[in-house]
Amino acid sequence: MKILTICPGSTSTKVALFTPQGKIDEITIPVDNFRIRKNILQEYAYQRDALKRYLDKVDLSDLAAVVGRGAPLKPLEGGVYNITPQLLSDLRECRYSNHISNVGGLLAFFFGNVYHVPAWIIDPISVDEFDEVARISGVPKIKRKSCSHALNIKATSRKLCEQEGWNLEEENFVVAHLGGGISICALKKGKIRDVNDGLLGMGPFSPERAGALPIKGLLDLAFSGEYTQKELEHYLSCECGLKGYLKTNKAQEVVQRIQEGDEYARLILDAMIYQIEKEIGAMLAACKFHVKAILITGGLAHNTYITERLLKDFSPFKTFIFPGENELEAMADGGFRALKGEIPILNYT
């Protein structure tokens, strides 16, 4: 029994085949950002044809399901979702985002039909399990929304609980996904009850994103005449953070500059860690400081300059490091649990 997982990202689409024992094959298909900006469906056609050429050479006689990365969709509970006509329509029309992740569900549906197996998405970015109090922003016309790396957050937390013999549905955790975007959440009994919006406007700055900003400064920037709304959104989500200050979004390159004596690079990276720690502290407070552990995951969790600081500063708490995005593995894990009947398969309507 195999599951095919498809994970489009900003620079490449990663595709892997899994059995219940683990990954048996993986390929990478490059992504053309020009096609994404112009029309995401053009990138879909290119990805579909490239993936088909690969799959035509693979024995898929025992394929059981295809799982695509979940794009930003309407707010919904975490879980496994059938790719329904409504879900396809929302992806094709970019109703909630013009993002490369939209291609994940489209590809999964296409290849599910080709091989006559179920096609699913799991724990998309827009998983919304907020406590009602967490939705209040302070401005009646603005509502806080849930937007996070839910797929990796939930799968890695489950993996930690299996490792330690804990029950995810009975414990509280603070989970920090540290990558190109940063999501730090209060995971209460398996539900994301609060999380910063790591794309625009909340939490720490990241390798590319601005994070939370002083409102007066943001207003001045917005009304400076220098940017259209679309240009400003791109600037804040793609050209700020480490990239804005240091002209690189690679944390390891920043560490190398620090080791070579660059004190400005040290200041900026330390500021990012400082803001990460503040957000972890906020989510500890959201859990009333009753947590089983703090979990650090995502691509930046490979960086020991960052993780050693976090382990030291949060030494009063049990803190675990699970490096990497782990999205392909997370999709496979959810898919096999769905096939075994351990979790329900929901319909997106």
Q: Could you read off the pLDDT of 38-88 as tens digits, one per residue?
A: 667 778 888 899 999 999 999 898 999 999 999 889 999 999 999 999 999
Q: Which CATH class is domain 2-128+327-347?
A: alpha beta
Is 175 within 8 Å of 297 (Cβ atoms)?
A: yes
Among 91-105, 140-154, 161-175, 188-202, name the one with the lowest average pLDDT: 91-105
Among 11-15, 182-186, 188-192, name the one with the lowest average pLDDT: 11-15
DSSP string, 156-189: HHHHHHHHHT--GGG-EEEEEEESSSEEEEEEET
2-128+327-347 and 150-323 share one CATH topology? yes
**Closest to 12 in 3D by CA, of 331, 325, 291, 335:** 325
Among 4-18, 214-228, 250-264, name the one with the lowest average pLDDT: 4-18
pLDDT band at 10 (very low <50, low <70, confident <90, very high): low
pTM here is: 0.91
Among 9-18, 27-36, 289-298, 330-339, name the one with the lowest average pLDDT: 27-36
Q: What is the pLDDT of residue 87?
A: 96
Please state, in angstroms and rounded to a whole number, the distance separating the CA atoms of residues 337 and 20.
10
Q: Please check the confidence at residue 189 and state whether its pLDDT lies above 90.
A: yes
Domain extents in the chain: 2-128+327-347, 150-323
Spell out the residues 6+ positions from residue 236 whose beta carbon is closer than 8 angstroms to its own: 200, 201, 209, 210, 213
Helix (H) or strand (E) holding 282: helix 263-286
Instruction: Give backbone dihedrals phi and psi of 340, rounded to 5 degrees, phi first.
Output: -80, -10
Please state, in angstroms and rounded to a whole number, the distance separating the CA atoms of residues 157 and 174.
10
Among 110-119, 130-139, 141-150, 196-205, name the one with the lowest average pLDDT: 196-205
Mean pLDDT of the chain: 93
Q: Please check the confidence at residue 235 and state whether its pLDDT lies above 60.
A: yes
Q: Please check the confidence at residue 320 and state whether its pLDDT lies above 80.
A: yes
Superfamily in which the 150-323 domain is placed by CATH: ATPase, nucleotide binding domain (3.30.420.40)
* Residue environment code for 6-24, b if the CB has 16+ CB neighbours within 10 A, otherwise e: bbbbeeebbbbbbeeeeee
